[in-house]
Amino acid sequence: MTIDAVYLLQLTLNGIALGLLYALIAVGLSLIFGVMEIINFAHGELLMLGAFGMCFALPVMGLLYWPALVASVIGVMLVGFAIYEVLLARLRPDEFERSILITLGLSIIIIHVMQYLFTATPRMVDSQFGFDGVEIGAIRITWTRVIGAGVALAAFAGLYFVLRHTQFGRAMRAIAQNREAALMVGIRPRVVARNAVVLAAGLSGLAGAAVAPIQNVTPYMGQFMIFKAFALVIIGGLGNVPGAVVAAVGLGLIESWIGGFYEIVWQEGAVFVIMIVVLFLRPDGLFKRGGMRVG
């Protein structure tokens, strides 16, 4: 089997784009875990809400991409705020199983309310860019994909800045690394946790909004991606943000390469196999836990 260099390059670019998307979701999960020690089961639904947001915002805003994107993300952040205040604020750090069950219940409610209101019929989203794309040699990439990747990169750059250079970011890292010490220094966990949830919701909503023009929007779309995000967070090390990014991009590439040459079953199963292998060798993930070190 000769491997076409161009084909490989196409796969690689697709893989990176996919990986960045995974990373947006996984990073949010990791942030929430680092600050609250809980896993947000409804995280995929935040992505789905972002996508639906685009569905409705684009026609209203005359198919203008950027305003619709911003509106969608803000919408999801508000939802995140509500989720925190109503449900998550009452959880203590060691109530892990309870947090899973609560967010699981929330996930069920959100999916089925959306399905009830908007049916499961997949929706295509049209934007000002339509299906135009850019061609580099024999490789074709749509604008929406390029912008999606670009937006993800910008988000990560912003996140890096926040974690490294703002007080909020430092507070998040402090709690993730050593909760007791952070409390003693006067960091208020409720405020930091709420902001972390809102931020994570924003990232997830951004992923959904970026993905909306690229694939079908259904109430279940978050579910398909979220379990991979869970596995990525485990592989990267719980609470470890750079770890999650590395694992995510790595998975995107691996899945893309495998999918290009083998059957889809193996592509989807790859993440699980990798996770089991990693857990076997390093039960705490590839990188250190809670090490939200960003430099």
The contact pattern for another protein, residues 175-194, with x = CB under 8 A and - = no contact, is --------------------
Instruction: For the CB of residue 7, give the shortest distance to another protein in the complex, in Å.
Output: 22
Widest Cα–Cα separation across the chain: 62
Report the alpha-carbon distance of residue 145 to residue 203 in Å, rounded.
Answer: 17
Range 204-243, binding another protein (CB under 8 A): 227, 230-231, 233-234, 238
Question: Is residue 134 part of the contact set for another protein (CB under 8 A)?
Answer: no
Give the one residue of 59, 67, 105, 122 binding another protein; rule: CB under 8 A.
105
Question: Is residue 269 part of the contact set for another protein (CB under 8 A)?
Answer: yes
Could you give the residue ranges of the DSSP H alpha helices within 212-263? 221-236, 241-261
Non-local (6+) Cβ contacts of 133 within 8 A are: 140, 141, 142, 143, 145, 146
Question: Is residue 82 part of the contact set for another protein (CB under 8 A)?
Answer: no
User: With contact defined as beta carbons under 8 Å apart, do 133 and 140 qualify?
Assistant: yes
Instruction: For the CB of residue 49, give the shortest distance to another protein in the complex, in Å.
Output: 15
Question: Is residue 262 part of the contact set for another protein (CB under 8 A)?
Answer: no
Nearer to another protein, 66 or 227 (CB): 227
Count interface residues toward another protein (CB under 8 A).
42
Nearer to another protein, 126 or 268 (CB): 268
Report the alpha-carbon distance of residue 295 to residue 179 in Å, rounded.
Answer: 20
Say whether 141 sits in a helix, a strand or coil: strand
